[in-house]
């Protein structure tokens, strides 16, 4: 079956260039013109590879890569006009599999696409589903939205990242150090109080009763976890 590739760029001439070349190799091509559209097109159909521009309106390529990585391990190649190292490192750190610096030649583009598709792993532990549910809690990774039952909940960027740590590791006890390192960064590793306050705030928003939490549970002396839901 033909591999389906999503190409994302705000310049129609880049879309045309990529599409024309990819089609000669028998790939199926779908397009998006900004990061938000990319995430939405991506979550509507199975995609084998994403070619993602960086500088785009609404949501840039980094933001869109991050959003997609929250629920999918599909390979992403970043197309960057800015050739500086910082940008490439940032793209790779956010979960991109490779990058291609503009200007690039058509043959190089096609070679990279073949290489990345060859390396592509079958779907990893990160669920391919756009939605996550835990009892009455629901997360839409593509839109970065959270609901408690029917109520949409507004979370700060940090609170959302903290919640994702739990959602991506259901049933696993996470230590304060782990959580602080992955959400705030290594320099906050020992700053336990900031985590306590954030978890307390998150519980206020997510739990029906913050004193008897169901979603984020404390394991005294060990850490915190999102307990598995028993059927």
Partner 1 sequence: MDYQTLEYLQELMRTTSQAGNSRSIIEKFLKILREQFVFDNVAVYIQDERSQTLEVVYARAIGRAKNAEADAAWGEMFAGQVVKIGKLLLQDPMPDAPPDDRLSQAYLLGLPLRSDEMVKGALIFVRFGGPIYENEHIAMASFVSSLLSILFERAAWRETNSELRELKRQMQLQEDFVSTISHELRTPLGFIKGYSTSLLRQDTNWDEETQKEFLTIIDEEADRLSLLIENVLESARLQSKTLPLRFQPLRLDSVLRDVIMRLRTRNKDLDVSMDLKPAPPIQGDGVRLAQVFENLFTNAIKYAPSAPIIVLLNHVGSNIIISFMDRGPGIPAESLPHIFDRFYRARNERTISGTGLGLYICKQIIGAHRGKIWAESTPGQGTTFFIELPINSSK
Binding of partner 1 by 86 (CB under 8 A): no
Collapsing DSSP states into helix, strand and coil, what is residue 162? helix
What is the closest distance, in whole angstroms, from the C-beta atom of residue 101 to partner 1 in the complex? 9
- Cβ distance to partner 1 smaller for residue 33 or 66: 33
**Residue from 2, 89, 106, 152 in contact with partner 1 (CB under 8 A):** 106
Helices assigned H by DSSP within 71-105: 85-93
What is the closest distance, in whole angstroms, from the C-beta atom of residue 134 to partner 1 in the complex? 38
Report how far residue 156's alpha carbon sits from residue 153's, in angstroms, rounded to the nearest whole number.
10
Q: Calculate helix-pair angle for 157-168, 176-183, nearest 10 degrees.
A: 130
What is the closest distance, in whole angstroms, from the C-beta atom of residue 39 to partner 1 in the complex? 18
Residue linked to tokens 């990058």:
99
Binding of partner 1 by 104 (CB under 8 A): yes
Structure tokens belonging to residue 28 = 């199926």
In angstroms, what is the C-alpha Rg of the chain?
20
Binding of partner 1 by 152 (CB under 8 A): no
- Cβ distance to partner 1 smaller for residue 70 or 87: 87
**Residue from 2, 45, 57, 93 in contact with partner 1 (CB under 8 A):** 57
What is the closest distance, in whole angstroms, from the C-beta atom of residue 89 to partner 1 in the complex? 17
CA–CA–CA angle 208, 139, 91 (5° rounding): 140
- Cβ distance to partner 1 smaller for residue 107 or 212: 107
Contact 59, 35 (CB under 8 A): yes
From residue 8 to residue 27, the character string flagging contacts with partner 1 as x (rule: CB under 8 A) and all else as - is --xx-xx-xx--xx--x---
**Residue from 86, 107, 121, 204 in contact with partner 1 (CB under 8 A):** 107
What is the closest distance, in whole angstroms, from the C-beta atom of residue 217 to partner 1 in the complex? 45
Report how far residue 49's alpha carbon sits from residue 137's, in angstroms, rounded to the nearest whole number.
30
The upper half-sphere exposure of residue 149, i.e. CA atoms within 13 Å in the direction of its Cβ, equals 4
Report how far residue 144's alpha carbon sits from residue 172's, in angstroms, rounded to the nearest whole number.
22
Choices 6-14, 167-175, 180-188, 217-225 (CB under 8 A): range interacting with partner 1: 6-14
Residues that bind partner 1 (CB under 8 A): 10-11, 13-14, 16-17, 20-21, 24, 55, 57, 81-82, 102-109
């Amino acid at each position: 079956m033909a591999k389906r590739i999503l190409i994302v760029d705000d310049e129609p001439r880049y879309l045309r260039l990529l599409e024309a070349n990819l089609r000669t190799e028998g790939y199926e091509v779908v397009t998006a013109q900004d990061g938000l559209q990319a995430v939405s097109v991506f979550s509507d159909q199975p995609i084998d590879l994403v070619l993602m521009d960086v500088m785009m309106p609404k949501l840039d390529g980094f933001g869109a890569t991050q959003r997609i990585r929250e629920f999918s391990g599909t390979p992403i190649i970043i197309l960057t006009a800015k050739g500086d190292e910082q940008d490439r490192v940032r793209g790779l750190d956010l979960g991109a599999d490779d990058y291609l610096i503009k200007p690039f030649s058509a043959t190089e583009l096609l070679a990279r696409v073949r290489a990345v598709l060859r390396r592509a792993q079958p779907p990893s532990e990160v669920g391919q589903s756009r939605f996550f549910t835990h009892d009455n809690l629901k997360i839409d990774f593509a839109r970065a939205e959270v609901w408690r039952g029917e109520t949409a909940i507004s979370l700060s960027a940090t609170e959302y990242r903290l919640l994702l740590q739990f959602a991506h590791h259901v049933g696993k006890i996470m230590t304060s150090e782990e959580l602080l390192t992955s959400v705030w960064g290594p320099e906050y590793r020992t700053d336990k109080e900031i985590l306590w306050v954030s978890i307390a705030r998150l519980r206020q928003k997510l739990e029906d009763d913050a004193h008897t939490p169901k979603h984020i549970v404390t394991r005294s002396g060990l850490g915190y976890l999102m307990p598995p839901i028993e059927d």
